[in-house]
Amino acid sequence: MRGRFRPGVFWGSGVKRVGVAVLVIVFVVFALLPRQSQFLFHTLGEPLADLVAIPVKGMAAVDRTLREWWMHYIALQGLSQQNRQLRETVRQLNGEVNRLREQAYMAERLASLLEFQEDESVRTVAAKVIGRSVSNWYQGVILNKGEDDGIREQMGVITPAGVAGRIVRTSGSTSIALLTIDPNLVIAGMIQRTRDEGMVQGTSQGLVRMKYLPPLSAVKPGDVVVTSGLTGGFPRGVLIGEVTRVEESEDSLFRTAQIVPAVKFRHLDEVLIVVSPRSPEAMLSLDHALMAPGPQNPTP
Amino acid sequence: MKIGAYTLLTLLLFSFQTTVLSSVNPFGIQPDFCLVIACFIGFRTGPVHGLIVGFGLGFLQDLFSAGPFGLQTFTKAGVGYLAGVIARNLSNREPCSAFVPVMACSGLSAMVFLLWSRMGMGLGEMLYGFSYILLPQAVLDGLVAIMASWVFGRWLFEAPSP
């Protein structure tokens, strides 16, 4: 009987019909009320996500152990470890240098104002990457910290090297972060040298683009791009990447810069989730203070 | 019993894909094993079971996806159904014959994602998505289907025992 298929292997035909009818209704509701249905799906799926997270975490632990074992004991034991440590140190130092440079810029201007506003500390939660989004259309990673650890949607995700992404979905014990290289993620950025602000967005090619730069911006290749801190989730001055090319078209009002991200997304193992960055309101008041007339901003 | 076995298999496969297999991405494209499984269930047991299993698999993927909720659920359900319909009209039952149907299902599913995620981002992004994500993924899923057909060929292309 090759080629003949018999329905009803798992369910009786009555149950099957009901199942199909339910699916059709769900589909229609989803098409008519997408936002509400997504919320409902998410709420219903949360307990299931916690359940599924158990084998995922187990598998991730096995995977991590095997990879570390391979890296440390088989593939050039000593050199590999040393190289990894050095690279990690360089990455951390790069982030530190960038942070200090940003602080120096800020301190310079603050000092000229004879007014000091205390910098609120940034609180972060460390998380491990336990998996990757299965879809090729969304660049995301699964993290082992969720709502139980205080993680909420829209929180920023960073590494010592720079900005990694933003939390887009949470369950009790896991969360999903959309990476900076995804075209669906937009972050407010700033050219560190010129202080020009723009919107940083990923591209399908795995690069990052900074859009809406002022037409008279003096941005040039090699300039460092950092977060402006004006949108929620990120503190000001976290490294995003380095400008490689500046595009200017005659029919556009703005300039666009292509950026190579500072974070190596293929080797993302641990991240920091920004639980409390400085609030956008605080940043705005700081910017207003900085733009107020003073020695460096004289009144025209 | 079978439902339990399939649920366990699905959980293991999903965990395996998101963790260990996430680094298996030739040319930067990751094959969608859940899509292939949804197609195979459709081939084996008909469109309705393909639809229901696809729905379940998609829902699972949606829980851990960075995209909007529901997209995986409904595309996988559609793919499972479509695979069942195609299988009814498939005369050639060799393992290689799984290539074209799975590739077509993957391509159609990816088209939904392309329109949803890249619409409004400009023609360049759309064309890049079509050429460098949609087409390679469809071919890769088809190749995975051929390999899986060789492994599960007997189970896949023979009618279930009463």
pLDDT grade for A114, boundaries at 50, 70 and 90: very low
| Residue B30 vs residues A294, B114, B124, B139, B153: alpha-carbon distances, Å | 55, 16, 22, 11, 23
- DSSP annotation of A122: P
Element (H, E) at A270: strand A270-276
pLDDT in tens, B41-52: 888 788 888 888
Please report the residues numbered 92 through 131 in chain B whose beta carbons come closer than 8 angstroms to any beta carbon of chain A.
93, 110, 113-114, 116-118, 121, 125, 128-129
Across the interface, do A7 and B128 touch by the CB < 8 Å criterion? no
Q: Measure the CA–CA gap between A18 and B107, rounded to whole angstroms.
A: 29
DSSP state of A231: S
The pair of structure tokens assigned to A131 is 């998996």
CB contact under 8 A, B15 and A56: yes
Percent of the residues in chain A that have a pLDDT greater than 90, as a whole number: 22
Average pLDDT over residues B92-116: 84
The string of pLDDT tens digits covering residues A224-249 is 999 988 777 888 889 999 999 998 77
What is the pLDDT confidence band of residue A103, given thresholds at 50, 70 and 90?
confident
Phi-psi region at B25: left, alpha or beta (left = phi > 0; alpha = psi -120 to 50): beta
Q: Band of the pLDDT at A165, cuts 50, 70, 90?
A: very high
Nearest to B64 among A58, A176, A179 (CB): A176
pLDDT in tens, A115-130: 434 444 678 888 988 8
d(CA A139, CA A90): 26
Residues B117 and A184: beta-carbon distance below 8 Å: yes
Test A134 with B17 for CB contact under 8 angstroms: yes
Looking at residue B131, its amino acid is S
Nearest CA-CA partner of A155 in A53, A119, A147: A147
Closest residue of chain B to A178, computed from CA coordinates: B66
* Average pLDDT for A150-174: 90
Cα separation, A54 vs A48, whole angstroms: 10
Q: A22-71, pLDDT tens digit by residue?
A: 778 877 887 777 777 777 777 877 788 888 888 888 888 888 888 777 76
Q: Please list every residue in chain B whose beta carbon sits closer than 8 Å to the beta carbon of residue A55.
A: 11-12, 14-15
> Across chain B, what does the average pLDDT equal?
82
Interior/surface letters A35-53, b for 16+ CB within 10 angstroms, e for the rest:
eebbebbbeebbeebbebb
Nearest CA in chain B to A143: B64
Give yes or no for residue B159 having a pLDDT over 80: no
Tokens, residue B115: 């329109």
Pairwise CB contact (< 8 Å): B70 & A34: yes
